[in-house]
């Protein structure tokens, strides 16, 4: 039985690594297409197709039972031509090098789209925080910072929360970095608790950004947001806050899901009840009997579909069965390139991930600025500044689709990569 489980785990790991490689290669494909559309040469593609730096570390952690377990961690820095690199740290059992590399490239593009003075970074540790104790997570978090401390910092590379990491983990990491540097350094990391230099509005920033994109998208499709039927795949940080924001805006959230299944009610779900019952990992469907699959949920009739879970959810196999008028990607890479083409041909407006989820890094930038100046803004100020960035970014990309006759994904890549290319030219890198 143990051998069977080991073989199954290995097969699953290899499958995930292949998916991550496909994601990475797809990212390179669109970057090449975007650079070609903008008239750049192969020199720029050679510079941007891979991260400038990729660090792999092994982190020994003493577990609660006294044993030592060694975890593998990564930190990718895609490009720092514009400024320090910036990007989250995820704790997940399926984290791998290709995924982290692809995510760091997307962070560069997000920062370019939002006109932030950052390049893209990303980090991750291969672990399952759902089965680790509080003390084990703290030891792992501090060990990771010690392992990557030479390549990160407020003017080098600024981490942030991501999948299965939160403000508490950011606090441990900031404290460890401050100990190593022998001075307090809140600007080293963002997504911290407010009392340690965090920013108002950071926890809800990604969902706020997605909300603003939805508000802009429905205008383009002449859909009234009030009463619009919305399906959200994923009920973690982004998905749960988004469900609340959509409900409060008068939209009808008719479907949500987590890793174990999905809930669907064409009359609308009781969002406040679901938010009250979800656990810290975004799980809520295990409390119900009438559960459908995530794939079934994606194909339900709705006005707006928001994939807010994992990658490769809308593919060539199911894209023709998507019944939404608008798809807004709150997750990273939820729609394959083949599916993007199918949705585009069907007249479905797809708001790509590197635009829709840019709210998180935008408010992380605001937090970094506030840390540097020692002056903090109200939640209203943060929300106002975020709205301007997201609306301007959406409009810039939407106009690019018309000027160059391309879809929203390619337009977003074009806008995002242009700033990197210009900065690299001025530096003499290409």
Looking at the DSSP bridge assignments, the partners of residue 212 are none
Residue 240 assigned ligand-binding role: no
Strand order in the sheet with 85-92: 53-62, 68-77, 119-126, 85-92, 157-161
Q: What is the C-alpha separation between 56 and 124, in angstroms, rounded?
A: 10
- Given a contact cutoff of 8 angstroms between Cβ atoms, the answer to whether 301 and 258 are in contact is no
| Exposure of 261 in the CB half-sphere (CA atoms within 13 A) | 11
φ, ψ of residue 244 to 5 degrees: the values are -65, -45
The burial class, CB within 10 Å (0-12 / 13-18 / 19+), for 414 is buried
Q: What is the C-alpha separation between 140 and 132, in angstroms, rounded?
A: 10
- Dihedral class, residue 268 (left if φ above 0, else alpha if ψ from -120 to 50, else beta): left
Residue 364 assigned ligand-binding role: yes
Catalytic residue among 49, 101, 122, 252: 122
Q: What is the C-alpha separation between 355 and 335, in angstroms, rounded?
A: 14
- Given a contact cutoff of 8 angstroms between Cβ atoms, the answer to whether 391 and 216 are in contact is yes
Other Cβ atoms closer than 10 A to 249: 14
Active site annotation includes 219: no
Residue 101 assigned ligand-binding role: no
Helix and strand numbers, DSSP H then E, in the chain? 14, 11
- Using alpha carbons, list the distances in angstroms from residue 185 to 256, 366, 374: 39, 16, 12
73 membership: H or E segment, kind and range: strand 68-77
Read off the tokens for 341.
């083409």
- Given a contact cutoff of 8 angstroms between Cβ atoms, the answer to whether 129 and 91 are in contact is yes
Q: What is the C-alpha separation between 244 and 241, in angstroms, rounded?
A: 5
Active site residues: 122
Return binding residues: 86, 110, 206, 237, 364
Return binding residues for NAD(+): 206, 237
Return binding residues for substrate: 86, 110, 364
């Amino acid at each position: 039985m143990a051998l069977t489980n080991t073989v199954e785990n290995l097969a699953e790991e290899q499958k995930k690594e292949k998916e991550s490689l496909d994601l990475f290669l797809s990212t390179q494909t669109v970057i090449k297409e975007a650079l070609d559309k903008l008239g750049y040469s192969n020199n720029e593609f050679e510079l941007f197709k891979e991260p400038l730096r990729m660090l792999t570390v092994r982190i020994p952690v003493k577990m609660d039972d006294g044993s030592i377990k060694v975890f593998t961690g990564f930190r990718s820095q895609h490009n720092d031509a514009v400024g320090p690199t910036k990007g989250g740290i995820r704790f997940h059992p399926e984290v791998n090098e290709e995924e982290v590399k692809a995510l760091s490239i997307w962070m560069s593009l997000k920062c370019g789209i939002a006109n932030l003075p950052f390049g893209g970074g990303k980090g991750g540790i291969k672990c399952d925080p759902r089965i680790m104790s509080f003390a084990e997570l703290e030891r792992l978090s501090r060990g990771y910072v010690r392992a990557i401390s030479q390549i990160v910092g407020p003017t080098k590379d600024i981490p942030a929360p991501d999948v299965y990491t939160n403000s508490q983990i950011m606090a441990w990491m900031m404290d460890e970095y401050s100990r190593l540097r022998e001075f307090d350094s809140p600007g080293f990391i963002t997504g911290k608790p407010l009392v340690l230099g965090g920013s108002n509005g950071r926890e809800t920033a990604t969902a706020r950004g997605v909300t603003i994109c939805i508000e802009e998208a429905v205008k383009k499709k002449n859909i009234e947001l009030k009463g619009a039927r919305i399906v959200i795949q994923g009920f973690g940080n982004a998905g749960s806050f988004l469900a609340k924001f959509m409900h409060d805006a008068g939209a009808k959230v008719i479907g949500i899901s987590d890793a174990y299944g999905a809930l669907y009610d064409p009359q609308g779900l009781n969002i406040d009840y679901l938010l009250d019952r979800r656990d810290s990992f975004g799980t809520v469907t295990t409390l119900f009997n009438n559960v459908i699959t995530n794939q079934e949920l994606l194909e339900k009739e709705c006005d707006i579909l928001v994939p807010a879970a994992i990658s490769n959810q809308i593919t060539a196999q199911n894209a023709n069965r998507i019944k939404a008028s608008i798809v807004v990607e709150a997750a990273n890479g939820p729609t394959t390139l083949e599916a993007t083409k199918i949705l585009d041909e069907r007249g479905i407006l797809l708001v790509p991930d590197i635009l829709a989820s840019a709210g998180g890094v935008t408010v992380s930038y605001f937090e970094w600025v506030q840390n540097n100046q020692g002056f903090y803004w109200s939640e209203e100020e943060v929300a106002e500044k975020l709205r301007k960035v997201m609306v301007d970014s959406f409009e810039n990309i939407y106009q690019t689709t018309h000027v160059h006759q391309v879809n929203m994904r390619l337009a977003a890549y074009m806008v995002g990569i242009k700033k990197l290319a210009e900065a690299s030219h001025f530096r003499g890198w290409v």
